[in-house]
A and B are shown apart, each in its own frame.
Chain A
Amino acid sequence: MKFTLSWLKQHLETTASAQEIVDAMTMAGLEVEHVENPAQKLAAFTVARIVSAEQHPNADRLRVCQVDTVDGRKEIVCGAPNARAGLTTIYAPIGAYVPGLDVTLVEKPVRGVVSNGMLCSAAELETAEESDGIMELSGDLAVGTPVAEALGLEAVIDFEVTPNRPDWLGVAGIARDLAATGIGRLKDLSVAAVPGSFPCPIEIRLTAPQACPLFAGRVIRGVKNGPSPDWLQAKLKSVGLRSINALVDVTNLLSYDRARPLHVYDVDKLSGAVIEARMGLEGESLEALDGKTYTLTADMCVIADASGPLGLGGVMGGESTGCSETTTSVFIESAWFDPLITAQTGRATGISSDAQYRFARTVDTGFVVPGLELATKLILELCGGEASEVLVAGAAPAAPGAISFDPDYVQRLSGLSVTRERTFEILAHLGFAIEGAGTTVQVTPPSWRRDVEGKADLVEEVARIAGYGALPSTPLPPVISAASGILTVRQNRARMGRRAMAALGYAEALTWSFTSRKTASLFGGGDEAVVLSNPIASDLDCMRPSILPNLIEAAGRNAKRGFADVALFEVGPVFAGDRPKDQRTAITGLIAPHAPRRWDQGAAEDVFTVKSDLMALLEELGAPVASLQTAQGSNSPWWHPGRSARLQLGPKAVVAEFGALHPSVLKALDVDGPVYGFELWLDSVPEPKRKGKSKPGYEASSLMPLSRDYAFIVEQDKAAGDLIKAVLGADKALIAHARVFDVYQGQGVAAGCKSVALEVTIQPKDQTLTEAEIEALSAKIIAAVQKAGGTLRG
């Protein structure tokens, strides 16, 4: 909303500058968006009078003028044809910035004559689009008068109002708050009743009190409608409104001045003598003042006569009964429409009128009849005529109740020290009524402050007027607990996992928590419960069951930009349902390897790269890596069936899945493979059993470890992991590691079989092993592997 300083000053007696007003508004809670202040912008420009204008000696079109200015008499060269002796115009001194020319004036000779300033046109000051010669002003103006004052230019303040303060949607309401801050004195806002000379000939009927509980109206007959006087037109123009005609302009004026929307009907266009506020009927429609036709519903409040709907109550009037220059008899509506129904109608129709905006935010229930009286007074002044008696139907919703209030609560809640007297003074300035004299008093909010419901609201009123600038800065009391390590194990793991992944060469991405339902269903999601009913786009309509598809698509986007080699990760939520327990935190890594070709023929990245990174990550997270089983063949269907596995502590305790993504999934996401990845569910990583900070005891054997190599023949589908498990299980005390170093198929190995070679590290504990003991251990290893289906290669 906008207003001008002079408009404000009609309600507020103040000498404050525009900037002071803006600062006071800001600190009272009004967010000022923008101030257009010509007085500031044009501060350098003042009224001057040309004493003489002589022909320039060296230029036909130039004149050398002697000018009386705020800086004394100056010699100024001017090219305007209207520069003549006696003309009152605008002077810009050397050093002034001329906005219309985008230049700063410097002292320099013009064809050999030094010009000590400039005489300006309206275009040069940007007060008009174009102009013909320098400004011609009234001779009454004193030399030195600022141009803004001479031209009546005003600061226009553009601001936003929070939804709790509909009273600020009228200039008078702002003046009231500013007066409370002490920047000025509030002028009398009271409205005198205009007596009617005949009964109101129109009956008001309320049949939807939930939407329109109160409706006041009257007729003024014998009016002469036409263009508004200049002051009213200028006033509306200053805040960006278009003047229509006097009757309509009065309603707009009161909407902006008192936050009181009104509507005027041409009585001669009404059918019958009854105006009814009712709910819309199915099948009805309205041709509104904006020229559009709206379909009405039973959820909308309609103003109707015998012919049908005349307007949407509190939203917009209809074309059929609008006031024009031919109107001679007018019915003024001053009603109170329910905020929720008005807001709903606004959304349903897409109409956001000044009236709708105000009613949706709750207008003052106490200003229904005064608003009507004020409109009557203005219409009689502007259009003449004779007013009927006021007709009031219905009653206002109950006024806000009294609040028990101990003024000490101001300090207790805000920390501000405000005296009891000042507290009461502020509340009184804002229109609150205070009763009682004890520690606790009864404070009743004014009818325009239905947002104030409790004592905390009263503290806010006092605090913001007393000024948040005075708030003390009070350190929080120290806390004894949690001197360090405030994060839970899971929170800390997310943090460490993030940095571990980055250290492993993955770039952290943040992708949407949603994806398309189609994509989600490729990754085991897409349940009805996690499908958004109002997505921003159809491809973002479902909560993601996995981070993988988002990272795959990100890899695809990067590839399309020419950056195909991608290693990305994300730590974030995945959703299996809509309950809190269905949300898990995943750490997901993805590699789309398109590494540069190498001169040294190094090995390309493959599924073992992500396995290695996943294992490194699990180590960093403190997961029980030694207990993890690698289970193959039971993975989710979005993985390559032969090149993926899960890491689990048991069939029902899956910690992670990794592998190559299934080619058909990649195809569905339009991404070229191969793509490798893993997804780890942080919530599935058990918390460490060990508590406390100290490390377990350190045991380093003084005896040399020894290693022995074995090759076993197994069926080609046999998992190497089974052999390792068998070897390790042969003697848990002595066997420290077992590692596969060769896998061979071909000559010397029967078809359908493979040879797996392992290096087994034996760590003697108490004494060096004898050759016989080593032989015995070997026999145990061979026997254990035999049991697992492998025979020693001869």
Chain B
Amino acid sequence: MTDLATLEAEIVSAVQASADLAGLDAVRVTVLGKSGSISALLKGLGSMGPDERREQGPLINGLRDRVQAVLTERKTALEAAALDAQLAAERLDLTLPAPPRRRGSVHPTMQVMDEMTAIFAEMGFAVADGPDIEDDFHNFTALNFPPKHPARETHDTFFFSPNEAGERMLLRTHTSPVQIRTMVSQAPPIRIIAPGRTYRKDSDQTHPPMFHQVEGLVIDRNIHMGHLKWTLETFVGRFFETSDVVTRFRPHHFPFTEPSAELDVQCDRTGGELKVGQGSSWLEVLGCGMVHPNVIKNCGLDPDEWQGFAFGMGVDRLAMLKYGVPDLRDMFASDVRWLAHYGFSPFAAPSAAGGLS
């Protein structure tokens, strides 16, 4: 009896003393292995008489079960310790930088063009295109510019050398030629905007040689200046995202519209920040008017049947005004710091639900 108790005490202390899984397994083998001490006792049961076996059997089996439990417990503890040690060894310094990833951006001028397109799309305008290299007819003559108008001079307009036919191509000075191309190629009613690049030779600090315009054209039977006013008031309110925008139509002169107007928006410029919808200053936003009867006639339409309005606005300038860009020249400088600062997220596409900006 005391032998079994002594053996159990020895085994338990050996199990507790084992420092790792290998050591523990060695103990297990010396106890429960083929020639282990408890295995030997269990084997000895076979050679016992029935009475002795009845007495010793439960004692030896009980010993085996308790030792087995101690071994399992110790194994679990040692495994947990080993995992802890492994995880501790696997520690990474997560303050280290992750692989670099560039952040792209959309240019503010193009963002604003998308905003404009979204607003006019809601009003039923389609988008029309035209070439940047234009001819005199589409850029000037059809738009009712008189011969030798100053805009036709090399001072104001970029020209190419005359070709074999004596025709001198030019870079369009406005998006208005798209009016002509549209009226010539499609039957009214017409409701389009035409965004694009435009070019002027008379550039200086605040007028780059290339800039962006959005042209608008509506031709129908009964369109008058009141429709023009509603369209532009609606646009300006949506664009500047204010419900109480105050606009002013001021008479002006353009060869291709009659009557002509410029649209001013009431604003506050105090403190260097532009706030639309309040204040006492006026900000010129765009030029517009009723399409000149001569222009309609030049496109093969009868001005007594068809009439409508046109407008043209500078996209870069409106982007500057809306987003507080101080210098127009920076828009075309491709400075990566500027692009990151003033650019827009690709996922910020203007929408009616998400807002225009």
Contact = CB atoms under 8 A, between A and B. Distances in A.
B230 A532 contact: no
A499 B110 CA distance: 10
- A contact face: mostly helix, strand, loop, or mixed: mixed
A465 to B, nearest CB: 9
A533 B104 contact: no
Contact of B230 (A412, A474, A514, A583): A474
A415 interface: yes
A509 B337 CA distance: 11
A563 interface: yes
Interface stretch (B32-40, B54-62, B265-273, B344-352): B344-352
B261 interface: yes
A588 to B, nearest CB: 12
A508 B260 CA distance: 36
Contacts of A501: 104, 346
A347 B251 CA distance: 28
B100 to A, nearest CB: 6
A647 interface: no
Contacts of B110: 498, 508, 510, 571
A512 interface: yes
A310 interface: no
Interface in A469-519: 469, 471-479, 481-482, 484, 486-488, 491, 495, 498-514
Contacts of B294: 454
A794 to B, nearest CB: 39
A580 interface: yes
Nearest to B102: A505
B166 interface: no
B324 interface: no
Given A415-B225, A498-B110, A534 B99 contact: no
Given A468-B250, A509-B339, A476 B231 contact: yes
B346 A500 contact: yes
Given A476-B123, A505-B102, A531 B290 contact: no
A486 B127 contact: yes
Contacts of A189: none
Given A510-B332, A512-B210, A575-B133, A471 B229 contact: yes
Contacts of A750: none
Contacts of A340: 147-148
A503 B347 contact: yes
Contacts of A478: 124
B188 interface: no
Interface in B174-203: 191, 197, 199, 201, 203
A568 B103 CA distance: 11
B66 interface: no
Interface centre among B104, B131, B154, B249 (most CB of A within 10 A): B104
Indicate the size class of the contact surface on chain A.
35 or more
Contacts of B345: 502
B107 interface: yes
Nearest to A554: B334
Interface in B280-297: 290, 292-294
B106 A499 contact: yes
A471 B332 contact: no
Contact of B158 (A165, A463, A503, A534): A534
Contacts of B169: 529, 578
A-B pairs with lowest CB-CB distance, top 4? A415-B226, A29-B251, A460-B259, A505-B102
A459 B259 contact: yes
A667 interface: no
Interface in B77-102: 96-97, 99-102
Nearest to A488: B127
A573 interface: yes
B252 interface: yes
A557 interface: yes
A477 B168 CA distance: 41
B132 A508 contact: no
Interface string B101-141: 11111110110001001000101111101111100000000
B218 interface: yes
A78 interface: no
B230 A347 contact: no
Contacts of A502: 104-106, 343-346
A638 B210 CA distance: 26
A28 interface: yes
Nearest to B193: A486
